[in-house]
Amino acid sequence: MSTGASGPVSIEALSKIFDASTDQEFFASMEAITRDMGFERFLVGTQWFDDNGAPVYKIASGYPGGWQRLYAERQYAGLDPTVQHCRTSTDVVVWSEDFFAQSGTLDFFEEARGHGLGYGLSLPVHEARGVKSMISLARDKPIQDPREEAQMLAFGKVLASCAHFAHRGLIASEAALGAKPQISAQESQCLHWVALGKTSAEIGQIMSIAEPTVVFHVKNVMEKLDVKNRSQAIAVAFRLGLLM
């Protein structure tokens, strides 16, 4: 699907996130794929709700231990602009001095840099009913090649959805996940090519069907999986075993 700074990142690598049956396995899978993408650290924070409707939070963090302790002691979650952004927006944030300066948190950013977190992406994933995640990928040095950054952004969106649904799957009851939806053969084929990064026009040529037909099938799959976009559809399909 994509190529990171240190090696290829494939559908097989993404699927391993969903093979995790424990927090430790999930952490190891995320750590490996993060490094394959050319990043050094990751964080996955998920919010969902218990049976009484109370919010519950779970975090998997590969950030340096010193930074995690400082972050908790100084209650930086209330200051961190990436957290505030991801709570209310579905847009990706690319870390930069301008972004932190606009929120008056440049000193906070300088502290993060001191712990090797000088460049990163924060990618929010929002579901219905307030279930959401924030996935951050971080490294010490910025990316110099704009083409590489664009590639990382594109792949990061898919990874974020996969990480969200895998993490959520570890902590949610099987009842909450619902029954596996039934999708047609053509819907399955379209979903397969979407997972490989093909556009609707390209899928139409591959499958010898009209582009609007591809769009129709993909839309049907998204409705059946109860997701908002193609990246989320890929993630849920992995989780349910619809993509192998």
Q: What is the pLDDT of residues 173-198, one digit of tens each?
A: 444 445 578 899 899 999 989 988 89
Q: Residue 117 is encoded by which pair of tokens?
A: 């977190």
CA distances from 110 to 71, 117, 143 (A): 13, 9, 18
- Whether 103 and 194 share a structural domain: no
Residues of the chain with pLDDT under 70: 1-10, 50-52, 172-179, 244
Angle at which helix 146-171 crosses helix 11-19, to 10 degrees, equals 20
Domain assignment of residue 62, given as a range: 2-175
pLDDT at 244: 57
pLDDT at 50: 67
Picking from 175, 198, 228, the residue at the C-terminal end of a domain is 175
- Whether 227 and 116 share a structural domain: no
Distance between CA atoms of 59 and 166, rounded to whole angstroms? 13
Burial 37-61 (b: 16+ CB within 10 A, else e): bbbbbbbbbbbbeeeeeeeeeeebb
Q: Residue 208 is encoded by which pair of tokens?
A: 């010898």
Instruction: Give the contacts of 176 (CB within 8 A, at least 6 positions apart).
Output: none
Picking from 127, 157, 175, the residue at the C-terminal end of a domain is 175
pLDDT at 172: 62
**Secondary element (H or E) of residue 122:** strand 119-126
Residue 203 maps to which CATH number?
Answer: 1.10.10.10
Total number of domains constituting the chain: 2
